Amino acid sequence: MTSTWSIEAPRLAMCASSIAIAVLALTPCGVSAEHALACKVTAVTDGDTLICFDPARRKMEKIRMRGIDAPESNQAFGQRSKQSLSDLTYGKPATVSWSKRDRWGRILGVVWIEPADCTGYGHVLDANRTQLSLGMAWWFRRYASEQVAEERLQYELEEIKARKRLVGLWIENEPVAPWDWRKSR
């Protein structure tokens, strides 16, 4: 006879590790005042950009996901990356942890959502990091200095693991980084 505990234990362990990661990532560590934006994802522009509705200010906000760079829409894996982010976030409540805007006025931040398989624990899944893990984005090394050390290390490790597993864009022999693709256009 299988007890309820033995069935739930792996799920609870996964949720607990997600919560621990969220607590570490949300802990200020040398980053200027992080803000938290509670919103609902209303659109996904591409694999690293989405639009959220902020009910407190009754305003739409464009979010550029900090620390990652996804393939452009017309680039190989561009549409798959967008679909992946949409599957993760579209229509869901989110918390965006951020400290600055880019030159186009977009919030640069980490998008936190509640994992589909771990309901009731809140926004503990880093969607930026998940895009890396799925092989749907590169870690954006050029802007690594804008990340806290723990986030930087986590993102770098997720990209390395995705490359080794040959998932997503890493299935290609020589995937072209979005920054190189943009430069060639």
CA proximity to 62, closest of 96, 86, 27: 96
Q: Is 64 among the residues known to form the active site?
A: yes
CA distance 41 to 61: 9
d(CA 184, CA 28): 38
151 φ/ψ angles, rounded to the nearest 5 degrees: -65, -45
Orientation angle between helical segments 149-165 and 4-26, nearest 10 degrees: 130
Which of these is catalytic: 106, 114, 151, 159?
106
HSE-CB of 145 using CA atoms within 13 angstroms: 1
Annotated catalytic residue, options 34, 61, 72, 158: 72
139 beta partners: 68
Q: How far is CA 30 from the centre of its chain?
A: 21
Set 64, 66, 158, 159: catalytic member = 64
Length of the chain: 185
Query: Rounded CA gap, 36 and 90, in Å?
Result: 19
Give dist(CA 63, CA 52) in Å, integer: 7
Residues with catalytic function: 64, 72, 106
